[in-house]
Amino acid sequence: MGFTPVFRLTLKKEFMTLNFYNLIKDHAEQTPDQPAIIDGESILTYKQLLKQIELFSGGLINLHLNSESKLGLLCLNQKEYLVALMGAFLKGITVIPYNFLLQPEDQIYITKDAGIDSIVVDSVFIKPETIPFLQTFKNIIVVGPTNPIKIGNNALSYETFLANADCTKAKVQHDKLDSIPDIILYTSGTTAKPKGVMLDESQFFANSQDTLTHIPITRDDRVIVALPLFHSFGNILAMMVFMTGGTLILLKQFAPKSILHNIEERKATILPLVPTIYSFLIDLYARGNYDVSSLKYCISGGAALPHALLKKVEETLQVSVIEGYGLTETSPVIAVNRFKDGSFPGSVGPVIPNLKLKIVDEAGNEKVSGEVGEILVRGKTVMQGYWNLPKETAKTITSDGWLKTGDLGHLDKENRLFISAGRKKDLIIRAGENISPLAIENVLMNHPAIAEVAAVGVSDERAGERVKVFIALRTNATITESELKSFCRKNLPAFMLPDHFQIMEELPKNATGKILKTELKKN
């Protein structure tokens, strides 16, 4: 991590005046009554949002924080989360969003690892079994209907916290150690303990600005965010909307019925989701009577979108599906197709401006166009490192600043990026033959009975690994193993043919809807 301090100082100097508070302030002055956030029945205009951010920032002074203090956010997709996030950025307090779907022991680990001493928590997470955990914090700000006194003397309601704030001190910067980033986003920890990705507000600003050159969201757009805000995908979408002065429609869960209802009711124009949710969404749309005519674009990220599903979404909803690609470690967007070009099946688009990308082999040698290798990226939006994990950081970021994504892909002659073989760690090696699970999944998603599919390698004494495919079927669909094998023989090369199939009601997923292959390997 020897390069990190220099990198951070350069970033802060270059972007220190370009922050989201100033943008929101501009919107509040120019279009004060424009809805910034629609959260259920609650609507927050840009003028109101600005006021609440200033109140939150001013209120932080009353918590008597020290130079190493950090603020945790244990919230749903709600306006208070975004107010707290932007208020913490304004004040200069490091913020750590919690993935509320993690196990309690992981929540405790993150709290101790990051050194979180204050928390904003929604009342839905306050239960008899969670109160001992919450009582470990020096300051507890409770959102929603509950009695803070039941938690302890150090708890107060969100409304009281804002009411006690001193707005005149909103812009007085907190005395934070230079070595501490603006935000730490923890990875899901599906294979090990969660890792804290260190980022600054300026990196989100740069990534938002550069991504908007490909997907120009406007002030007139209404963007549904059902993706969890604690995740980098949902997080950057919110910031891009704030950058342009558009409107966020916050949904607390991925429920397809709620998404379709809000498109119709709120006249949403842009819908970002992950592939698995699109699959269920179009099934429900086909059985219902929903008006989605306001939609202009769909955006897909978080996992590869099978060609057949992309085509079906476009035919069903009558809009282009724009695919993109990114990592938490890159703030997060790396590449995305352009609105003006429409969808390009199989590609996640050209790399966004100000980010360098190359494809390399195992030895680190750069591949030519069309050849598959690991994707490496470098630029100002690459993370500063993993919190308290210098060895992990050194494994991930090379000495000259290239971040190893762990994804296998290639570039075409027009420099469009393709995630050709999925995750490097997911590659299946059967009898010495490298098999891409993504290639198998893309073929099987063309079968009309299949809603979800995941191919994994399972241990085998003779072959090293065998290919096992897990499948979830569409509503009322049926299929036999012999039919699946026959379909594969017709559409896959012999060396890729699966050895085993297992049909499940639903495949396990994380908070963003990404299928958890680590869980499937246990079956």
User: Residue holding tokens 């997080």?
Assistant: 235
Report the domain count for the chain. 3
Question: In terms of domains, do 504 and 472 share one?
Answer: yes
At which of 198, 231, 265 does a domain end? Answer: 198
Judge if 22 and 133 occupy the same domain: yes
Last residue of a domain, one of 198, 229, 262: 198
Q: What does the pLDDT read at residue 238? A: 97
Query: Residue 17 in contact with residue 11, Cβ under 8 Å?
Result: no
Domain assignment present for 270? yes
pLDDT at 191: 56
pLDDT tens track for 258-275: 999 999 999 999 999 988
Give the whole-angstrom CA distance, residue 406 versus residue 98.
24
Cβ neighbours of residue 476 closer than 8 Å, sequence gap 6 or more: none
- Order across the sheet with 183-186: list the strands: 155-157, 139-143, 118-122, 70-74, 94-97, 183-186, 196-199, 385-386
What is the model's pLDDT at position 425?
A: 84
Q: Are residues 47 and 99 in the same domain?
A: yes
Q: What's the domain range around 513?
A: 427-520
Instruction: Kindly state the DSSP code that residue 23 receives in the 8-state scheme.
Output: H
Work out the burial of residue 253: count CB atoms within 10 Å of its CB; fewer than 13 is exposed, 13-18 middle, 19 or more buried: exposed
Is residue 3 situated within a structural domain?
Answer: no
Is residue 467 within 8 A of residue 435, CB to CB? The reply is: yes
Q: How far is CA 65 from CA 71, 89, 149, 316, 505, in A?
A: 10, 15, 21, 52, 48
Would you say residue 136 lies in a domain? Answer: yes
- Token digits of residue 383: 């993370």
Is residue 247 assigned to a domain? yes
Q: Are residues 184 and 263 in the same domain?
A: no
Q: Concatenated DSSP letters for 425-473?
A: GG-EEETTEEE-HHHHHHHHTTSTTEEEEEEEEEEETTTEEEEEEEEEE
349 in a structural domain: yes
- Contact at 8 Å (CB) between 293 and 304? no
**Between β-strands 347-350 and 416-423, what pairing exists: parallel, antiparallel or unpaired?**
antiparallel
Predicted pLDDT of residue 149? 73
Identify whether the C-beta of residue 460 lies closer than 8 Å to the C-beta of residue 466.
Answer: yes
Same domain, yes or no: 34 and 114: yes
Which CATH number does the domain housing residue 459 bear? 3.30.300.30
Left (φ > 0), alpha (ψ -120 to 50) or beta: where does 351 sit?
beta
The answer to whether residues 85 and 190 belong to one domain is yes
CATH code at position 276 = 3.40.50.12780
How buried is residue 515: exposed, middle or buried, by Cβ count under 10 Å (0-12/13-18/19+)? buried
Asked whether residue 265 falls in the same domain as residue 289, the answer is yes
CA distance 214 to 325: 13
The pLDDT score that the predictor gives to residue 189 is: 59
Stretches where the chain sits below pLDDT 70 are 1-18, 189-191
Query: Going by DSSP bridges, is the β-strand pair 270-273/247-250 parallel, antiparallel, or unpaired?
Result: unpaired
Domain end (from 165, 198, 231): 198
**6 within a domain of the structure (yes/no):** no
What's the pLDDT score for residue 513?
79
Tally helices (H) and strands (E) across the chain: 16, 26
Task: Read off the CATH number of the domain in which 85 is found.
Answer: 3.40.50.980
Residues 189 and 101 in one domain: yes
In a domain, 1, yes or no: no
190 in the same domain as 325: no
pTM of this structure: 0.87
Instruction: Tell me, yes or no, whether 5 lies in a domain.
Output: no
Same domain, 459 and 327: no
Cα dist from 305 to 152, 274, 418, whole Å: 47, 8, 11
What pLDDT is attached to residue 97?
98
E-state strands within 50-170 = 70-74, 94-97, 118-122, 139-143, 155-157
**Domain co-membership, 85 together with 177:** yes
Instruction: State whether 240 and 189 are in the same domain.
Output: no
